[in-house]
C-alpha cells in the first residue's frame, strides 16, 4: 500500500485508494475566490469545522494570497495570520497543511504542529529544503512559472508538459539530495500558475504521465480557477460544476489528492466515482478469471 508520510499521519495514496480531498482555508483578505470570508480567527475555525463535517481529509491553511498580481505578504504578517489558526486546529484529528514559500514560516509552523508544507515555489527559495528536511512533514512540490505578480502576463513554453515534468523531477532530486525521503513527497503541476488555458489543458491531459514518471502521488488544484471560467464563461462564485468536472477528470488521469474549495460536493462526487470505479474493476477481474 502506497502511503504519504504527512507529519503525524500516514495517508493512503495508492492507485486503488479513494482520492483524498484537501480543503482550502484561506485566511487572507484578498484571495481570488474567497478572500476575506475567513480572515478572522472565529470565521476560520468555523470554516474548518464545517470542512471536517463535510469529510475533508487534509486542511490547507494559506495566509498569503497567490492570485495573479497579488503582492507578497511580509513575514511578520503571514505569521500573525497563520499561527493562531494552526494552534487552534492542531489537535482536530486531521492533517494540517500550510501553504507557504517562506523558510522562516515553514520552521515556525512545523514547530507548532503542521503536518505538511505546500510550496508554490517548489521549495526553491534558499534554505527552504533545509527548513523542512529534519521534520517528518509531507511536502507538496509545485511548479510555477514566474511569481504571482507576473505569472499570467505572458507565460510561454516550448513543451509545457515536458518542462513542468523536468522542473518537478529536478526539485524532487534536490529534496532527495537533502536526505528527504520520497515517502514524504507529492507533486503538483500548478494549474493556472504561469499557464495559459491551452497550457492548462495540455497538463490536465498528461498529468498521469507526469505522476507516473516520478512515481509520486500527484496533487491537482483546479477548483474555481481561471481555466474553468475561460471554458464555461462563469464567474468565480458559479464555477462549481466546472470545477467538479475538471477535478474528476484529473482523478481519472491519476491525481491522488485534490485541492478544493467546495469540500462537501467534492467528497460526494468522489464517493460516487470511487464506488463505480471499484465495481468496474471487480467486474473486469471476474470476467478475466472466467476466461
Candidate list 225, 234, 278, 291, residue with the active-site label: 225
102 catalytic? Reply is no
Beta-sheet pairing, 96-99 with 116-119? parallel
Residue 286: CB atoms within 10 A of its CB come to: 9
C-alpha 40/C-alpha 21 separation (Å) is 24
239 catalytic? Reply is no
Which residues, in sequence order, are CB contacts of 103 under 8 Å at separation 6+? 125, 126, 127, 128, 130, 131
C-alpha 111/C-alpha 116 separation (Å) is 12
Beta bridge pairs of residue 260: 23
Candidate list 259, 278, 279, 291, residue with the active-site label: 259
Which residues, in sequence order, are CB contacts of 20 under 8 Å at separation 6+? 11, 12, 13, 57, 58, 256, 257, 258
3-state secondary structure 176-223: HHCCCCHHHEEEECCCCCCCCHHHHHHHHHHHHHHHHHHCCCEEECCC
Active site residues: 225, 259
Amino acid at each position: 500500500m502506497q502511503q504519504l508520510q504527512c507529519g503525524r499521519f500516514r495517508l493512503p495514496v495508492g492507485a486503488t485508494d479513494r482520492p483524498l480531498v484537501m480543503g482550502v482555508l484561506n485566511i487572507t483578505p484578498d484571495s481570488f475566490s474567497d478572500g476575506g470570508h475567513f480572515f478572522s480567527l472565529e470565521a476560520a475555525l468555523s470554516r474548518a469545522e464545517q470542512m471536517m463535517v463535510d469529510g475533508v481529509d487534509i486542511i490547507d491553511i494559506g495566509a498569503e494570497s497567490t492570485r495573479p498580481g497579488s503582492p507578497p505578504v511580509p513575514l511578520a504578517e503571514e505569521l500573525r495570520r497563520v499561527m493562531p489558526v494552526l494552534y487552534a486546529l492542531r489537535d482536530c484529528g486531521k492533517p494540517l497543511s500550510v501553504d507557504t514559500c517562506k523558510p522562516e514560516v515553514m520552521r515556525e509552523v512545523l514547530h507548532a504542529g503542521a503536518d505538511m508544507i505546500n510550496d508554490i515555489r517548489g521549495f526553491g527559495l534558499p534554505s527552504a529544503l533545509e527548513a523542512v528536511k529534519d521534520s517528518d512533514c509531507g511536502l507538496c512540490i509545485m511548479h510555477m512559472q514566474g511569481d504571482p505578480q507576473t505569472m499570467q502576463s505572458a507565460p510561454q513554453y516550448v513543451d509545457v508538459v515536458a518542462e513542468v515534468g523536468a522542473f518537478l523531477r529536478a526539485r524532487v532530486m534536490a529534496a532527495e539530495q537533502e536526505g528527504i525521503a520520497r515517502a514524504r513527497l507529492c507533486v503538483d503541476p500548478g494549474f493556472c500558475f504561469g499557464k495559459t488555458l491551452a497550457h492548462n489543458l495540455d497538463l490536465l491531459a498528461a498529468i498521469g504521465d507526469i505522476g507516473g514518471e516520478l512515481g509520486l502521488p500527484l496533487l491537482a488544484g483546479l477548483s474555481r480557477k481561471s481555466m474553468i471560467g475561460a471554458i464555461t464563461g462563469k464567474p468565480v462564485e458559479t464555477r462549481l460544476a466546472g470545477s467538479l468536472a475538471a477535478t474528476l477528470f484529473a482523478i481519472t488521469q491519476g491525481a491522488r489528492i485534490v485541492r478544493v474549495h467546495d469540500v462537501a460536493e467534492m467528497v460526494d462526487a468522489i464517493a460516487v466515482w470511487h464506488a463505480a470505479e471499484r465495481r468496474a474493476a471487480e467486474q473486469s477481474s471476474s470476467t478475466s478469471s472466467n476466461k
